Amino acid sequence: MCIRDRRKKMEKLPVEKTAQKVSLKNKLAFACGDIFGGGSFNIINFLFVPFLTLTVGIPMYWVSVIMLISKVWDGIIDPFIGKISDGKQPGRFGKRRFFMLVCAPILIVATILLFFPWNLVTTSVPLKIVLVIIVYLIYATTQSFILIPYYSLGSEMSGDFIERTKVNSVRLGFSIFSSIVCVAVPGMIAAPEKGAQSYIVMAAIFGGIFCISVLITALFAREQIVSPAVKTKVNFREFFRPLKIKSYRQYLGMQMCSSMGMAIMSSFFFTLMDFWIRRGSYAANLQFDVPRFPIATVAAAIMFVAQIFALPFYFWLIKRKSKTFAYRLGAIVWAVTACALFFLPAQSYTLDATGALEIVSQVPDWVICVLAFVIGIGIGGPVLVPHTAFGDVCDVGELYFNERTEGAFSGLSNFLNTTAQAVGLAIPPIIIGAAGYLETVYEAPADLSGYFVKPYDNGTAYMPVAQSDSAMLAVRIVIAFLPIVVMAIGFFISLRYKVTREKQNEIAETLKLDKNSEEYKSKREEILKSL
């Protein structure tokens, strides 16, 4: 059979919908892809901003500009990627996995370029900014070509409500595990005091891990819903077409709120813990070679471990209650516990008669770890629910538009979700910078009021200066209260979301009918009115 005849045959294939269970092997193969999805975002959230400011030497406000430019770029390319994904003919690697297979090797290079220390190449700040923008756009493009098809693939793994929830729960477990590793390990490999080249080593290691994880999904995952190619125009009007669906807008609202809340909290989490709650411990490590307990890294890791522990509970809650109930309960736990971060007192220290560092008072480590665990339990609900709801709103979209276009939905979701993350990362520097936060200093502080300095590989000695009380108060407010405000919005949006288990099953049964039949038209109209 020639290629042309094969394509014509594929175009005539109907969308196959089934409630068949997804095998454990298939679930694991699919979930591997989110090792990149979950882990890469946390490396960006926790490491990229400090890397640009402390190592590369880019001013804080320019970091916000770089984030903004990347989102504008996403808005340009994501509609094309989503439409390209929907328009591809199903082949040996399906409609989605083909793009993952091609882009996986590029990911290694893109990740290394993202964390390349351009301060070793040039001292010109404008040139460093331009170089960072270029490599960030390369990375963002590669990321979109992988994640948009990947998230579309999730809705094609099964047509059953509960089975789809199981598939995405396993995926989220892999994502959270990767998040833990990508919070705890990169900082052990790469840090300003370890040398600028340490970031290249870190990026090469994790770029390789991400490449392998994406390849596993591309080669071994198998979708159960096979849809023919959908050819539509690529323009901004078509890109935003899914927003016509109220359920999809509500889903996006919940997803964006949880993503923005996480980004806000993570942006200065290490700053709060290491430079305030453990104020002076960094100084002890540098000046006196006193081993420093990495409480920020441990607390962040515990936070993500708690999310994994919470997954079975939230999955049970979804089955017994609803996805939105799980979302709201988690949001409440997160909000209440995050308030406690605001009231954690700063460490105090002094020098004894021999010149040795003596800690006067500090919050016990177990208190910080318990708070991190409870916050992680709370975060689990708002993070899990949007992942499991994507396939449901894609079904609503097929009912609304009479065609299946997961790529368009995934492209818009990825754009708006990463935009929410970028906004979450950009807002704190603006607020904290206005409160007097200082990025770097190029001379040693005179006394214990600051942080001690040590020479870096380029011969310049610099470390973050001691922050003012107003700046650190702003850090506390941002991390503790801004996520609460954002999650309150998500809470109220979830109250209006109506795609329940019963409703999704009704939608699935309706989609099996002949789209030209009167029964289908009648049920379609009835369901859409109820949503």
Strand spans (E) along 1-60: none
Angle of helix 60-87 relative to helix 97-114, nearest 10 degrees, comes to: 160
Give 445-454's long-range contacts (Cβ < 8 A, gap of 24+). Answer: 448/280, 448/283, 448/349, 448/350, 448/351, 450/283, 451/275, 451/282, 451/283, 451/286, 452/283, 452/286, 452/287, 453/286, 454/193, 454/286
Sort residue 459 into left (φ over 0), alpha (ψ -120 to 50) or beta.
left
- pLDDT tens for 234-262 read 566 777 888 888 989 999 999 999 988 88
- Interval 283-308 mean pLDDT: 65
pLDDT tier for residue 113 given thresholds of 50, 70 and 90: very high
Q: Which of 37-51, 103-117, 149-163 comes out lowest in average pLDDT?
A: 149-163
- pLDDT tens for 151-195 read 878 777 776 667 777 787 788 788 888 877 887 788 778 877 677
Cβ burial, residue 319 (10 Å; 0-12/13-18/19+):
middle
Fill in the amino acid letter for 510.
T
Q: Is 358 helix (H, G, I), strand (E, B) or coil?
A: strand
Segments in 196-322 forming alpha helices (H): 197-220, 236-239, 246-267, 269-272, 281-287, 295-320
Quote the pLDDT of residue 88: 63
Q: Which of 210-224, 264-278, 302-316 comes out lowest in average pLDDT?
A: 264-278
- pLDDT tens for 3-35 read 444 444 444 444 444 446 777 888 888 888 888
Quote the pLDDT of residue 89: 62
pLDDT at 212 over 90: yes
Rounded to an integer, what distance in angstroms lies between the CA atom of residue 383 and that of residue 323? Answer: 11
Q: Are 420 and 263 in contact (CB under 8 A)?
A: yes
pLDDT at 131 over 80: yes
Rounded to an integer, what distance in angstroms lies between the CA atom of residue 371 and that of residue 334? Answer: 10
Q: Is 409 helix (H, G, I), strand (E, B) or coil?
A: helix
Q: Is 15 helix (H, G, I), strand (E, B) or coil?
A: coil
Nearest Cα residue to 214 out of 293, 325, 102, 56: 102
With tokens 């002076």, the residue in question is: 280
Quote the pLDDT of residue 293: 53
Q: Are 411 and 99 in contact (CB under 8 A)?
A: no
Top mean-pLDDT range of 36-45, 386-395, 518-527: 518-527
Quote the pLDDT of residue 274: 65
- pLDDT tens for 429-480 read 778 777 776 654 433 333 333 333 333 334 443 444 556 677 778 878 888 8
Q: Give CA separation, 219 vs 32, 101, 175, 216, 289, in Å.
A: 11, 8, 19, 5, 48
Domains and CATH numbers, the chain: 24-499 (1.20.1250.20)
What does the DSSP assignment read for 66-131?
HHHHHHHHHHHHHHHHHHHHHHSPPBTTBTTHHHHHHHHHHHHHHHHHHT--GGGT---HHHHHHH
Quote the pLDDT of residue 297: 74
Quote the pLDDT of residue 91: 61
pLDDT tier for residue 283 given thresholds of 50, 70 and 90: very low
Quote the pLDDT of residue 467: 61
pLDDT tier for residue 231 given thresholds of 50, 70 and 90: low
Quote the pLDDT of residue 142: 92
Q: Three-state SS across 451-512?
A: CCCCECCCCCECECCCCCHHHHHHHHHHHHHHHHHHHHHHHHHHCCCCCCHHHHHHHHHHHC
Question: What pairs with residue 354 in β-bridges?
Answer: none
Between residues 208 and 406, the one the model is more confident about: 208
Question: What pairs with residue 455 in β-bridges?
Answer: 461
pLDDT tier for residue 359 given thresholds of 50, 70 and 90: low
pLDDT tier for residue 82 given thresholds of 50, 70 and 90: confident
Fill in the amino acid letter for 38.
G
Say which DSSP state 441 is in: B
Rounded to an integer, what distance in angstroms lies between the CA atom of residue 151 and that of residue 416? Answer: 14
Quote the pLDDT of residue 453: 37
Nearest Cα residue to 447 out of 270, 276, 280, 274: 280
Rounded to an integer, what distance in angstroms lies between the CA atom of residue 507 and that of residue 160? Answer: 11
Q: Are 214 and 36 in contact (CB under 8 A)?
A: yes
Q: Are 432 and 478 in contact (CB under 8 A)?
A: yes
- Tokens coding 467: 């922050």
pLDDT at 233 over 90: no
Our measurement of the distance from residue 367's CA atom to the centroid of its chain's CA atoms, rounded to an integer in Å, reads 27
pLDDT tier for residue 90 given thresholds of 50, 70 and 90: low
Quote the pLDDT of residue 466: 57
pLDDT tier for residue 2 given thresholds of 50, 70 and 90: very low
Rounded to an integer, what distance in angstroms lies between the CA atom of residue 300 and that of residue 268? Answer: 12
Strand spans (E) along 305-453: 348-351, 357-361
Quote the pLDDT of residue 282: 44
pLDDT at 130 over 70: yes
Mean pLDDT of the chain: 77
Angle of helix 246-267 relative to helix 406-434, nearest 10 degrees, comes to: 40
Quote the pLDDT of residue 441: 40
C-beta atoms surrounding 514 within 10 Å: 9
What is the DSSP pairing of strand 348-351 with strand 357-361? antiparallel
